[in-house]
Amino acid sequence: MKKFINKYTKNSSTQKNNTKTTENVMDRKEQYNKLYQRSLRVLSSRQRTESQIRDYLNRVVQKEKIDSDLIEEVISQLKRVDYINDSQYISDYVDIRTKNKQKGKRGLIYELQKKGIKSDAINTYFANNSVDEEQLAKMALYKVWGRYRGLNKFDRYKKTTQYLLRRGFDYEVVRKTIEEFEESE
């Protein structure tokens, strides 16, 4: 009888260990699926950078006590299926910001770095693609030139220069653009 109990107990503990291992594997798969689905939900509203998704998943992991090792797995899967592509994000972002907000190259670089995109990717993009800063500066200045018409020449120059520099334009482009506007007046 004693052997039977030991044998039974041994089998029972082995079954429990197998059950725990199976539960851990299932639990890990469920956690992975949960993180993956949450990231897809965030990506469905608009395009995001790898850094933004990583930050979001870190918040989810802390809040819901999920294994943090899964973050890299989820991000690599999202990259594999091309849901996260920082170079495409840069291209789309620059197109939108130059059309809608007339931002200069420096301003765009600063904003992209704030979004967590690596400097290498940003520099590669701007090495292969050009931004017509002079045209963008003219468009931006055209929008505000009327506001400063009543000011004396020095104050108008100062305010328009500050405005364009805040938009991320290079000083030489700013100076040249303002001079063109003043000559045409």
106-147 residue pLDDT tens = 999 999 999 999 999 999 999 999 889 999 999 999 999 989
Give yes or no: residues 16 and 42 share one domain: yes
The predicted pLDDT at position 66 comes to 82
19 in the same domain as 92: no
Structural domain that includes position 175? 132-185
The reported pLDDT for the residue numbered 26 is 57
Query: What integer pLDDT is reported at residue 89 of this predicted model?
Result: 95
Between CA 174 and CA 71 the distance in angstroms is 44
Under-70 pLDDT residues of the chain: 1-26
Last residue of a domain, one of 50, 84, 118: 84
CA atoms lying within 13 Å on the CB side of residue 147? 9
**64 and 41: one domain?**
yes
Last residue of a domain, one of 46, 62, 84: 84
Domain count for the chain: 3
Nearest Cα to Cα of residue 37 among 56, 19, 23, 50: 56
Same domain, 68 and 98: no
Whether the CB-CB separation of 91 and 25 falls below 8 Å is answered with no
The CATH number for 184's domain is 1.10.10
Q: Are residues 149 and 179 in the same domain?
A: yes
Q: What is the pLDDT of residue 105?
A: 93
Write down the pLDDT at residue 24.
Answer: 56
- Domain stop point among 84, 117, 150: 84
Same domain, 138 and 176: yes
Nearest Cα to Cα of residue 169 among 143, 135, 121: 135
